[in-house]
Amino acid sequence: MSFPEEIARSYDAWRETPTGHYIDSREKSLILDLAQPRGGERLLDVGCGTGDHLWLFRRKGCDVTGIDPSAPMLDIARQKLGHKADFYLGRAEDLPFSDDEFDIVTLIASLEFTADPVQAIHEAIRVCRGRVFIGVLNKYSCLGATRRLSGSYRSSIYDHARFFSIGELTAMIRRQLAGVRIRWGSVISLPYSWYGFARGIEESLPVMNNPLGAFLGLSFSVTFTQVTIQEPIRESTRIESKGRQPLPGVVRVIK
């Protein structure tokens, strides 16, 4: 799903408010703790929107690329980053990149709006040679419940969103990488209106393995440790990414 320019700019404006800035900083702290970007790494942000998280990773020294289905969002991102990032118009379910091309792949507030989240995760794994980070609005948080209910009486971008819990995300990932170790946590456990006076409470709450925060983040490693005969076959036939499924016999073992 793509968003018009007015939605993109309104979200950027919200981040400049005191509450928006605080919430954004908490979310970014969790993202950095779990994604652990390092200088020189190649990073792909799937659903990069207006490029705010690309700036975050660029400041950490990463070589950044963004892809988004919304041309207006990408226009704003290009205005922010210029030549400091590469941009592509495209969908999470069909990434126009080679296998194992990026050290880090992120989906931040984008999986909720994909038509096929399982395929989007599959594609993130396919193009990654290091680790994947996924950040979503938590289904079982106070804010998640409010956003779902708001759609029953007024129009919102969240009318088109699919909300996830940690259990659902873990199940989708382990369907593709059985036994993978997943690190996760969440922030923003209080109603937005409380952050003018209750930041101390927020900061006293646990972050890791907290199932109730509004912003839920998780990361996992993607590492090939075995190569089978099917790997050369896949290279020689140049299977296209669209609709690709894991080949029988290709084993991806997590260290």
Does 198 fall in a domain?
yes
pLDDT of residue 255: 38
pTM score, whole prediction: 0.82
pLDDT band for position 142 (cuts 50, 70, 90): confident
Does 118 fall in a domain?
yes
Does 41 fall in a domain?
yes
Does 117 fall in a domain?
yes
Mean pLDDT, residues 8-25: 83
C-alpha dihedral over 57, 58, 63, 65, to 10 degrees?
A: 70
pLDDT band for position 146 (cuts 50, 70, 90): low
Give the range of the structural domain holding residue 140, as residue numbers without chain letter.
Answer: 5-225
pLDDT band for position 144 (cuts 50, 70, 90): low
pLDDT of residue 191: 87
Does 63 fall in a domain?
yes
Bigger pLDDT: 226 vs 183: 183
pLDDT band for position 10 (cuts 50, 70, 90): confident
pLDDT over threshold 90, residue 68: yes
pLDDT band for position 1 (cuts 50, 70, 90): low
Contact indicator for 19, 196 with CB cutoff of 8 Å: yes
Domain count, the chain: 1
Q: Which residues of the chain form beta strands (DSSP E)? A: 42-46, 63-68, 85-89, 102-108, 128-137, 182-187, 215-221
Looking at this protein, which amino acid is placed at residue 239? I
- Percent of all residues in the chain with a pLDDT value above 70, rounded to a whole number: 76
Does 248 fall in a domain?
no
Does 241 fall in a domain?
no
Contact indicator for 243, 211 with CB cutoff of 8 Å: no
Contacts of 111 (CB under 8 A, 6+ apart): 47, 92, 117, 120, 121, 134, 136, 162, 164
Assign residue 21 the CATH number of its domain.
3.40.50.150
Does 249 fall in a domain?
no
